[in-house]
Amino acid sequence: MQRNTSPQFNHGAHEILDVHEVLSASIGAMNQYTMLRPIVQDQELLDILDRQYQFMQQEYNTTVDCFHTGQDPAVPTQSYMMQQDNQIIYGLTPSQPKKPIQNETEISDEHISGFMLSCVKSLAALKTYAALEASNPVVRRVLADSVPNCIEMAYEISLYQNKNRFYQVPQLPVTDMQQMKQSYAPATGTTATS
């Protein structure tokens, strides 16, 4: 049995492989944002893209720092603060069916926001999985703390998409919604004993 007490080598094999996936996907997301930036048309989407890119870059550097050293990073994980309001437009309006583009000149802000959303949703899943496999307590905490940031970025993009009718949010009829919401009651009693 090998024991390394140095924080620098306090990583298990699964952690090493999963963090490698997270860091590679983070680079991929930032590269995609960089490639998309010149073709963004809407200034609001460009502001979101720039803000999220800067945040992703710092979070990537924080993860690399603690991964290299096994210790607290020089810059701790921050909290991403979106600038969208929380207003959702519910309901469906008729629209053209979606289909794959045939030419890069067809790429629109709708597509770009969709690419961005896919990136941050993938990062949320990868970081969650990697945090569950991390044996180094600092790396685990940095990964776990970064998951809510991915969720916040995804929500910001989905709000932008919804506001621009790129993403519509259907609702159940009120009676069905009410019945579903009332399908559960608080748990009562004490814990099970053996």
Structural domains present in the chain: 7-89+108-178 (1.20.1260.10)
Read off the pLDDT band of 2 (50, 70, 90).
Answer: low
CB burial of residue 74 (10 Å; 0-12, 13-18, 19+): exposed
CB 158 within 8 A of CB 117: yes
Q: What is the pLDDT of residue 11?
A: 81
CB 181 within 8 A of CB 106: no
Q: What does the radius of gyration of the chain's CA atoms come to, in whole angstroms?
A: 21
Say if residue 4's pLDDT is above 70.
no
Read off the pLDDT band of 190 (50, 70, 90).
Answer: confident
DSSP for residue 182:
T
Q: What percent of the chain has pLDDT over 70?
A: 94
Reported pTM: 0.89
Report the largest interatomic distance among the alpha carbons of the chain, rounded to a whole angstrom. Answer: 66
For 54-70, give the secondary structure using H, E and C: HHHHHHHHHHHHHHHHC
pLDDT tens, 12-32? 888 899 999 999 999 999 999
pLDDT tens, 54-108? 999 999 999 999 999 999 999 999 999 998 888 999 999 988 888 999 999 999 9
Say if residue 5's pLDDT is above 60.
no
Q: What percent of the chain has pLDDT over 90?
A: 81
Q: What is the pLDDT of residue 85?
A: 86
- Average pLDDT of the segment spanning 131-140: 94
Structure tokens at 57: 């870059």
Q: What is the pLDDT of residue 6?
A: 64
Nearest to 25 by CA among 152, 153, 155, 120: 120
Structure tokens at 135: 């044996």
Q: What is the pLDDT of residue 96?
A: 87
pLDDT tens, 39-56? 999 999 999 999 999 999
Which of 33-37, 111-115, 184-188 has the lowest average pLDDT?
Answer: 184-188
No. of helices (H) and no. of strands (E), the chain: 5, 0
